[in-house]
Structure 1
Amino acid sequence: MTILVTGSTGRIGTQILHALARSGAAVRALTRSPEKARFPEGVTAVKGDLLDADAMRQALAGVKTLFLLVSNAPDELTQAINTLGLAREAGVQGIVYLSVTRSAEFTDVAHFIGKYAVERMIEQLDLPATILRPSYFFQNDAMLKEPLTKAGLYVSPVGNQGVSMVDVRDIADAAVIELLRRHGAATALPRTTYELAGPDALTGPLLAGIWADVLNRDVRYAGNDLDVFEQNIKANAPAWKAYDLRAMMRRYQIDGAVATGPEIARLTDLLGRPPRNYRDFAQETLKQWQ
């Protein structure tokens, strides 16, 4: 029996594929362009698109365990719901679904509430799934080299309430652990949910202070102006996505997204170690920039 990984060419999917390949599991990686794929040895590239039901039926044939990651897109909900329905029809016995923290609470953020609808399907149909709810990624800040190093500005408007940001490597590690646990089980396992977060409640000023220490220069928080943020996103992304991310930042500014002690302890138990912290990420990122 096989593990099928969607989102296979992204930051998280790539790490999952390498870890699963090392485990010796039979792995398929879904991709629109198998001829261009550069996957680890032992991973089979399968052509497919989450909106193509016929292709997905073929990709899911003989699959025991599914990793479902759907990127932020206008039709994200359709992709996820259809894929879970097809997986159910194919007899998939274990699912790991990548959702998002505060999926039920941030109802005015399109990709949050869309993921919550998928969670509701999983719950209502009692699908044998692990739901992973990651917070905002550390690695999003790797794109801030120019404002940090040239202007001395931390420009992501995360606000002052605190966000327990998470390293994508911890997300991938948690996914692999759950995929292998479900894949190795003789029968389908009960549903479970994990919040994936880092150990610190990070605010805009605190993040600016971390970067000031790491860069050994003055860095200040650029503030909470969402108009500027949206316009900057629109320079490289469609308007719908820029507004979606603006809505997310607005909720971070109003409500924050701070993980509880029990949530961090439960993730620590899953990983077998504490989740990574932002300062270490910043130091590693500086070395990459250099």
Structure 2
Amino acid sequence: MAILITGSTGTIGSQVLAHLQGRDIDIRALTRSPETAQLPSSVTPIRGDLADPDSLRAALDGVSTLFLLAPNVADELTQAMLALTVALEAGVKGIVYLSVFKGEAYADVPHFAGKHTVERMIEALDLPATILRPAYFIQNDLRQKDPLTKFSAYGAPIGSKGISMVDIRDIGEAAAIELLRREQAPVPLARETYELVGPDSLTGEAIAAIWSEALGRAIRYGGDDLTVMEQRMKAMLPAWHALDLRLMFGRYQTDGAVATTGDIAHLTKLLGRAPRSYATFAKDAAAQWAKG
């Protein structure tokens, strides 16, 4: 049998594939363009699209374990729910679903509320799934290179409540561990949930201080202006997506997204080590930027 990875060429899917490298297991990657997809040589590209249930039915032939990552699109919820339905009908014995940290609490943030609805479907149908709930990705802040290096400012308006950002490598590793556990089990396993978080509660000012040390000069926090952020996002993203992100950052500012000690301990047990820190990421990024 085989493991099928959706979102295989994206940020998280590529991390999952990297952590599955070297395993004596049939790994397949769902992609709309198998001819041009940049995948590890040991991975088999499979043509398909979550928006096309018939293509997913074909892609699930011979698959026993599914990594489900629905794209951040306007119909993300529909795609994810239909994918679960198709997987259930195909007899898939194990699912690893990428949800989001605080999905149940941020009811006004579309992509959070949608992922929580998918979790409710998994629970209601008693699907054999691991739910992974990642916090804000640390590597999103690679986009801060220009503000940091040109203007000595950290621009993400995350506020002062705190966020337990997670390294994408930890997400990929956690997903790979759970995919292998479910694939190798002789029978479907009970549901499991992990909060994928970092070890720190990070505020805008705290991250600015981390970058000050990493870059060797004073970095200031750019502030909490969400209107400006939305307008900037609209230059790169559809308007609905920019508003969705503004609402997310608004909840970060009012409520925060801080992991509990239990969340961190649970993830540490899964990984066999502590999750990676933001400070380590910043130090490594600064070193790479210095090299040009």
1:53 Cα offset (Å): 1.2
* Distance in structure 2 (CA, Å) of the matches to 1:250 and 1:18: 33
What residue is the counterpart of 1:162 in the other structure?
Answer: 162
Letter in 2 for 1:174: A
Residue in 1 that maps onto 2:279: 279
1:192-207 equivalences in 2 (<5 Å): 192-207=192-207
Deviations 1:151-193 (A, max 9, x none): 1111100000000000000000000000000000000000010
Q: 1:145 aligned to 2:145? A: yes
Match of 1:89 in 2: 89
Distance 1:47 1:289 in 2: 37
CA distance in 1, matches of 2:141, 2:18: 24
Distance 2:6 2:146 in 1: 32
Q: Percent identity?
A: 59
Which whole-Å CA distance do the structure 1 matches of 2:140 and 2:21 have between them?
Answer: 26
**Structure 1 match to 2:242:** 242
Deviation at 1:42, TM superposition (A): 2.0
Partner of residue 104, structure 1: 104
Q: Distance in 2 between matches of 1:15 and 1:246?
A: 27
Q: Equivalent residue of 2:22, what SS?
A: helix
Aligned mates of 2:237, 2:98 — CA distance in 1: 22
Q: Which amino acid aligns with 2:249?
A: M
Assess if the C-alpha contact under 8 Å between 1:135 and 1:196 holds in 2.
yes
Give the deviation of 1:232 after TM superposition.
Answer: 1.1
**Equivalent position of 1:253 in the other structure:** 253
* 2:21 counterpart SS class: helix
Give CA deviations for 1:41-64 in whole Å, capped at 9, x if unaligned: 221100001011111100011110
Q: Contact 1:17–1:40 at 8 Å: present in 2 too?
A: yes
Q: Distance in 1 between matches of 2:18 and 2:26?
A: 12
Distance 2:18 2:264 in 1: 26
Partner of 1:12: 12
TM-score (structure 1 length as normaliser): 0.99
Aligned equivalents of 2:155 and 2:19: distance in 1? Answer: 33
| 2:151 paired with 1:135 | no
Rounded Cα–Cα distance in structure 2 between residues aligned with 1:18 and 1:207: 28
Mapped partners of 2:34, 2:4: distance in 1: 14
Partner of 1:120: 120
Structure 1 unaligned spans of 5+ = none
- Deviation of 1:71 (Å): 2.0
Q: Is the 8 A contact 2:94 2:183 kept in 1?
A: yes
Instruction: Compute the RMSD of aligned alpha carbons.
Output: 0.7
Contact 2:139–2:167, Cα closer than 8 Å, also in 1: yes
Is residue 109–residue 244 contact of structure 1 (8 Å, CA) maintained in 2? yes
CA distance in 1, matches of 2:18, 2:222: 38
How big is the shift at 1:102?
A: 0.5
Structure 1 residue identity aligned to 2:8: S
Deviation at 1:38, TM superposition (A): 2.3
Offset of residue 275 of structure 1: 0.1
Contact 1:138 1:165 in 2 (8 A): yes
Aligned 8 A contact 1:159 1:203 in 2? yes
Deviation at 1:21, TM superposition (A): 3.0
CA contact (8 A) 2:15 2:168 kept: no
State the alpha-carbon separation in 2 of the partners of residues 180 and 7 from structure 1.
Answer: 18
Counterpart-to-counterpart distance in 2, 1:238 and 1:287: 33
Number of corresponding residues: 290
